[in-house]
Amino acid sequence: MKNNIKFSVLIPNYNGEKYISRCINSILNQSFTNFEIVIVDGKSEDNSHKIIAEYLNKDKRLRHIKYPVDTCLSDAVNIGIANSEGDYILWLGNDDYLIDPDVLKDTHAFILNNYLNRAKKPVILYGGYKIFWSRQNIYEKRKKRDLDYHFMWFTDSIMCGNVFFERAFCINNNIKLKNNLKYCMDYDLWLQIISKCNRDDVVCMKDRYVHVFTMREDNITGGGVYNSTKEALQVALSHNKNPFKTVGIYIFIGIQLVFQRSRDLYLKSITTN
């Protein structure tokens, strides 16, 4: 395995002028420098293109893909994957940001320390993350474990912006995001990948938090957590042919739906009192 690993940080953007600078800066401030930033945005109507252009003039590691014009979020990510050059892709939302300056350095070291003398490197690496609930101004830590791999068959247990995935594996296996999904295109992507690789190709970086995910009411996930979980149920079922797993999927996601309704009521009560 080569030791000069390159990361591609993919940012699909649409009208993200309020947030995209924070996202880009969190990448440019990384202590590990062998990366590229691939921004896919052909349709923004705010100042996003102007902001991106300013960064393009300052740092050659940025690329702005305007054409072909993306038709939806999934299409934008697929365009980004096809045009990336790195060994691993990290997909961030425009309002996400890397949690500290050593995320890429530590991920690179983790790969070299554990896989340098092996024929294969991981297909997926995932770490923990933080959620920022913007309406309540609350941060919530989500630590990840090896066990989350097994939960993946029942529910979306690893998230998105904390997951590094191997670009070549997706290209070689024709793995793409599905345009008909509104919320859980990342979950479907992970299930496509893990269904075609071995268990030991999916690795958890247990002590490394990767990014901060901003939960806003006006973004896709924040505006429909309950609906997102309902879509996750359909995604999980579409990848399953085992009747016993089907029961587990309904149990796992059913518990999540009840929890989310309860949490919504609680958060509403503490913000209105």
Is the per-residue pLDDT at 190 higher than 80?
A: yes
Burial class (CB in 10 A: 0-12, 13-18, 19+), 201: middle
Confidence tier at 147 by pLDDT (50, 70, 90)? confident
Task: Annotate 126-186 with DSSP letters as a single string.
Answer: EEEEEEEETTTTEEEEE---TTHHHHTTTS--S-STTEEEEHHHHHHTT----TT-SS-HH
Cα separations in angstroms, 110 against 106, 122, 125, 141, 177? 6, 11, 10, 21, 27
- State the chain's mean pLDDT as an integer: 89
Domain 7-222 is found in CATH 3.40.640.10: no
Task: Annotate 41-79 with DSSP letters as a single string.
Answer: -S---SSHHHHHHHHHHH-TTEEEE-SSPPSSHHHHHHH
d(CA 135, CA 231): 24
Residues 121-131, mean pLDDT to the nearest whole number? 95
Domain ranges of the chain: 7-222
Q: What is the pTM of this model?
A: 0.88
Radius of gyration of the chain (CA): 18
* pLDDT digit string, tens, across residues 153-186: 877 788 899 999 999 999 999 999 999 999 999 9
Q: Name the token pair of 100.
A: 């500290």
Q: Name the token pair of 262.
A: 């309860």
Among 118-122, 123-127, 164-168, 203-207, the least confident range = 118-122
* pLDDT digit string, tens, across residues 127-144: 999 998 877 888 899 999
- Decide: 22 and 86 in contact? Cβ < 8 Å: no
